[in-house]
């Protein structure tokens, strides 16, 4: 992978799900000086706090991961909050990087930024060819706008900022809260609880027919570190596996791995979200040699094992967030 990018790294959101994995991966690859502040140390939605954080830490490399995220229901309930928080955090961090003369900036976006009916596989050049899926559009548009900002700052100020678009993430330390979490941790928790309570059936959102592409969090962290070292272009880059799975098939797989044998009842009155997602991952392979290595079933087994241990250690909401 070459030599580590020089100097101190600042990882916003570095104590979160992806952030903790990026910090661990960077350290394993030889980065020795990393700052990973918590939300209590700097509220990045406030410009003065974002600028103070950069001025205080003086990093040479910044990886911006701090975000407000959640599943379909969380997005539906908080469209204004998700837009405001994600837009302002990104705007403030990018501007503070310019002020401090940061040498390398990595901004991590989301596949929710893609248009609802993007042709498969999703190619980076299709990002602007339509409006995102309505259930997560405010979040997706806020994150998409940061690509424009990063490109503008590259052109005007010479800021070496890059922009990555990871697939849906999963893995140990994910958010297992049923109200705000994503599909994989939600299914794992629901099936474990249904198994333990001997429930004959579990009702699930939607039709089960949409597809998603899932990326193990450790693989994503590897991609972020590789890109920070090896990529310096203006074009956005997909990070994923290039493989999709129907949500119905995913649910059946997780139920089997958890040991739940009851009926899966789908509720078509609930929204499905975007019909399909599968990324073209050619650019990441070509530009910085990234290829995901964790098969879905293997990653699910690790996630289930972690959550099973976490349940024994305390309340699911606290343990699953690494509190």
Give the separation between CA 307 and CA 177, rounded to whole angstroms: 12
At CA 165, angle to CA 103 and CA 101, rounded to 5?
15
* Token reading at 276: 């399909």
Closest C-alpha among 228, 180, 186 to residue 204: 186
Residue in the structure block whose two tokens are 């958890």: 258
Give the separation between CA 17 and CA 251, rounded to whole angstroms: 22
Residue 315's contacts (CB-CB under 8 Å, 6 or more residues apart) are none
Residue in the structure block whose two tokens are 């954080």: 53
Residue 278 near residue 120 (C-beta atoms within 8 A)? yes
The length of the chain is 323
Give the separation between CA 112 and CA 144, rounded to whole angstroms: 9
Residues forming beta bridges with residue 211, ordered by sequence position: 246
Give the separation between CA 191 and CA 194, rounded to whole angstroms: 5
Torsion sign, CA atoms 117, 277, 224, 73: positive
Give the separation between CA 306 and CA 217, rounded to whole angstroms: 13
Known catalytic residue at 139: yes
How far is Cα of residue 264 from the mean position of the Cα atoms in its chain?
27
Long-range contacts of 85-89 (CB under 8 A, 24+ apart): 85/45, 86/139, 86/142, 86/143, 87/142, 87/145, 87/146, 88/44, 88/45, 88/47, 89/12, 89/44, 89/45, 89/50, 89/64
**Options 139, 153, 170, 231, the catalytic residue:** 139
Judging by DSSP bridges, how do beta strands 245-246 and 211-212 pair with one another?
antiparallel
Q: Active-site residue numbers?
A: 139
């Amino acid at each position: 992978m070459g030599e580590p990018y020089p100097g101190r790294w600042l990882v916003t959101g570095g104590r979160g799900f992806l952030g903790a994995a990026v910090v661990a991966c960077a350290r394993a690859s030889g980065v020795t000086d990393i700052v990973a502040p918590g939300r209590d140390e700097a509220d990045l939605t406030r410009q003065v706090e974002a600028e103070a954080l950069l001025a205080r830490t003086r990093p040479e490399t910044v990886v911006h991961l701090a975000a407000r995220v959640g599943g379909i229901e969380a997005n539906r309930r908080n469209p204004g909050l998700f837009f405001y928080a994600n837009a302002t955090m990104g705007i403030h961090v990018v501007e503070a990087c310019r002020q401090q003369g940061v040498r390398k900036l990595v901004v991590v976006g989301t596949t929710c930024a893609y248009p609802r009916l993007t042709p498969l596989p999703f190619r980076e050049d299709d990002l602007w060819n339509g409006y995102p899926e309505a259930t997560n559009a405010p979040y997706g548009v806020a994150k998409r706008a940061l690509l424009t900002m990063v490109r503008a700052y590259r052109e005007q100020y010479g800021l070496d900022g890059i922009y990555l678009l990871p697939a849906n993430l999963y893995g140990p330390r994910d958010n297992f809260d049923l109200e705000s979490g994503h599909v994989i941790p939600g299914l794992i928790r629901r099936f474990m609880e249904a198994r333990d309570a001997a429930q004959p059936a579990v009702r699930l959102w939607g039709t089960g027919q949409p597809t998603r592409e899932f990326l193990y969090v450790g693989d994503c962290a590897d991609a972020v570190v590789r890109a920070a070292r090896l990529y310096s272009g203006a074009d956005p880059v997909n990070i994923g596996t290039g493989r999709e799975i129907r949500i119905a098939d995913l649910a059946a797989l997780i139920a089997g791995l958890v040991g739940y044998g009851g009926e899966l009842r789908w509720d078509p009155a609930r929204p499905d979200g975007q019909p399909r997602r599968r990324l073209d991952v050619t650019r990441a392979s070509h530009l910085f040699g990234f290829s995901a290595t964790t098969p879905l079933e293997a990653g699910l087994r690790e996630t289930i094992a972690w959550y099973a241990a976490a349940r024994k250690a305390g309340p699911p909401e606290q343990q699953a967030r690494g509190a």
